[in-house]
């Protein structure tokens, strides 16, 4: 063994080699581990020393396996010196915590995240890739990262950390909120020419419609308010305790997030009401995408269905106008009138 490297590092180098080069589909025999120790760390060791250290790692609880160590793996066996059979420990590999499909989901989340620069996006994906062996090939090498070059907010990670800290500690959050200008840059909302400061009671972060939102309450407004997180800057966690969600009217029993999102698919506020609309059955994909599966459906003649949902009128208004040719809202009457007014206004613009 090389004098320049202490023996106690050998076991760590072996662990690094397994993490980097192996997985259940790409095991390494002891001789290959010996060769990698020499080529990557300049350290020499015989196969018995490598095997002894591998056994120590397994005893310490590291997820290291060899061919024949699991029920679905075939063991290598041979006759020993005393004539009996013995198992050969070979083809060693590291069982990484994440499956390739799980890592791909994490990478997709980074690719479509708001506010991140191309450099930051690439760095995060590289960290995810480091969670498994070198044999994992992400989509990063096959896509044009610039297609995800949306508006950059360099404070996005800091903002998310502050929001989570405020929620965990039950504190209020203060920040400035920005809109996109015609120069494609973020500009703060103002009051009397000065940047407006928002003070909110933060309750939850949610991903919806390809964006992350902060669900919060404001003292001057009833119910809940939503903010795009990539539009938030200059956030601070205050010492002031946040108002508890159960103290808000309509949320005395707390917030069931899945139900809230179904009732507010576009994350617009508004009182939840029983809404009925009629459409053709082929619209079910779009209905479920927007309102979930907790619906009441009535079959109608001519391949029509009657759908009952509980949602806010403001949210259904957007959806109904989008699919105006395919659905008809039947109730409440106030929503029908709002839709009719929207469509009349559109006809005036385009009907000439």
Whether the pLDDT of residue 293 is over 60: the answer is: yes
Helices and strands: H and E segment counts in the chain: 10, 16
Q: How confident is the model at residue 332 (pLDDT cuts 50, 70, 90)?
A: very high
CATH code of the domain covering residue 303: 3.30.70.120
Averaged pLDDT of the chain: 85
Least confident of 129-143, 150-164, 310-324: 129-143
Answer whether residue 260 is part of any domain. Answer: no
pLDDT digits (tens, 9 = 90+) for 242-276: 999 888 877 777 777 667 777 777 776 677 889 99
User: pLDDT value at position 2?
Assistant: 46
User: pLDDT value at position 1?
Assistant: 44
Cβ burial of 201 (10 Å; 0-12, 13-18, 19+) is buried
Our count of domains for the chain comes to 4
Answer whether residue 265 is part of any domain. Answer: no
User: pLDDT value at position 298?
Assistant: 92
Upstream peptide bond of 77 is cis (omega within 30 degrees of 0) = no
Query: Do 136 and 112 belong to one domain?
Result: yes
Domain that holds residue 243: 163-253
Least confident of 86-95, 97-106, 108-117, 319-328: 86-95
**Mean pLDDT comparison of 51-65, 135-149, 248-262, highest-scoring range:** 51-65
Task: Give the residue-averaged pLDDT of 320-340.
Answer: 92
Tokens describing residue 225: 């308010």
Query: Do 342 and 312 belong to one domain?
Result: yes
Q: Between the CA of residue 144 and those of 141, 154, 322, what are the distances in Å?
A: 8, 21, 31
Query: Do 79 and 109 belong to one domain?
Result: no
User: pLDDT value at position 69?
Assistant: 58
Q: How confident is the model at residue 128 (pLDDT cuts 50, 70, 90)?
A: very high
User: Is residue 6 classed as helix, strand or coil in its secondary structure?
Assistant: coil
Whether the pLDDT of residue 83 is over 60: the answer is: no
Q: How confident is the model at residue 111 (pLDDT cuts 50, 70, 90)?
A: confident
Q: How confident is the model at residue 99 (pLDDT cuts 50, 70, 90)?
A: very high
Least confident of 2-16, 17-31, 306-320: 2-16
User: pLDDT value at position 308?
Assistant: 94
pLDDT digits (tens, 9 = 90+) for 204-252: 998 877 788 999 998 877 778 889 999 999 999 999 999 998 888 777 7
How many whole angstroms separate alpha carbon 240 and alpha carbon 261? 28
Answer whether residue 155 is part of any domain. Answer: no
Answer whether residue 294 is part of any domain. Answer: yes
User: pLDDT value at position 165?
Assistant: 96
Answer whether residue 190 is part of any domain. Answer: yes
User: pLDDT value at position 294?
Assistant: 77
Answer whether residue 212 is part of any domain. Answer: yes
Whether the pLDDT of residue 352 is over 90: the answer is: no
Answer whether residue 266 is part of any domain. Answer: no
Query: Do 114 and 83 belong to one domain?
Result: no
How many whole angstroms separate alpha carbon 280 and alpha carbon 20? 54
Cβ burial of 139 (10 Å; 0-12, 13-18, 19+) is exposed
Tokens describing residue 185: 């840059």
Task: Give the residue-averaged pLDDT of 10-35.
Answer: 94
- Say what percent of the chain tops pLDDT 90: 48
pTM of the model: 0.70
Q: Which residues lie closer than 8 Å to 214 by C-beta, 6 or more apart?
A: 163, 173, 200, 202, 204, 205, 226, 227, 229, 232
User: pLDDT value at position 6?
Assistant: 65
Query: Do 104 and 89 belong to one domain?
Result: no
Query: Do 211 and 238 belong to one domain?
Result: yes
Q: How confident is the model at residue 9 (pLDDT cuts 50, 70, 90)?
A: very high
Residue given tokens 């990063």 in the structure block: 140
pLDDT digits (tens, 9 = 90+) for 175-197: 999 998 878 788 999 999 999 99
Query: Do 215 and 288 belong to one domain?
Result: no
Whether the pLDDT of residue 71 is over 50: the answer is: no
For the chain, the distance separating the N- and C-terminal CA atoms, rounded to the nearest angstrom, is: 88
């Amino acid at each position: 063994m090389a004098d320049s490297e202490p023996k106690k590092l050998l076991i760590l180098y072996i662990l690094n080699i397994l993490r980097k080069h192996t997985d259940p589909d790409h095991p390494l025999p002891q001789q290959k581990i010996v060769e990698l120790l020499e080529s990557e760390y300049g350290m020499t060791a015989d196969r018995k020393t490598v095997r002894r250290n591998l056994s120590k790692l397994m005893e310490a609880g590291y997820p290291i396996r060899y061919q024949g160590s699991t029920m679905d793996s075939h063991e290598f066996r041979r006759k020993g010196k005393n004539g009996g059979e013995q198992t050969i420990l070979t083809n060693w590999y590291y069982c990484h915590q994440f499956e390739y499909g799980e890592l791909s989901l994490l990478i997709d989340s980074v690719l479509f995240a708001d506010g991140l620069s191309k450099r930051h996006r690439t760095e995060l994906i590289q960290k995810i890739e480091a969670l498994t062996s070198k044999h994992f090939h992400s989509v990063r090498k096959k896509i044009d990262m610039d297609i995800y070059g949306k508006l950059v907010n360099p404070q996005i990670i800091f903002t998310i950390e502050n929001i989570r800290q405020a929620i965990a500690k039950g504190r209020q959050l203060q920040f400035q909120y920005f809109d996109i200008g015609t120069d494609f840059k973020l500009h703060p909302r103002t009051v009397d020419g000065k940047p407006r400061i928002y003070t909110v009671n933060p309750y939850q972060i949610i991903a919806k419609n390809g964006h992350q939102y902060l669900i919060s309450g404001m003292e001057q407004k009833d119910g809940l308010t939503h903010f795009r997180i990539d539009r938030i800057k200059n956030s601070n966690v205050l010492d002031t305790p946040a108002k508890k969600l159960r103290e808000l009217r309509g949320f005395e029993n707390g917030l069931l997030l899945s139900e809230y999102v179904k009732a507010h698919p576009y994350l617009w506020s508004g009182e939840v009401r029983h809404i009925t609309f009629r459409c053709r059955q082929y619209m079910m994909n779009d209905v479920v995408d927007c309102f979930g599966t907790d619906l009441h459906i009535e079959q109608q003649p001519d391949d029509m269905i009657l759908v009952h949902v509980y949602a806010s009128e403001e949210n259904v208004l957007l959806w109904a106008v989008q699919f105006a040719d395919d659905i008809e809202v039947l109730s409440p009457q106030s929503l029908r009138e709002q839709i009719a007014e929207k469509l009349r206004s559109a006809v005036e613009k385009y009907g000439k």
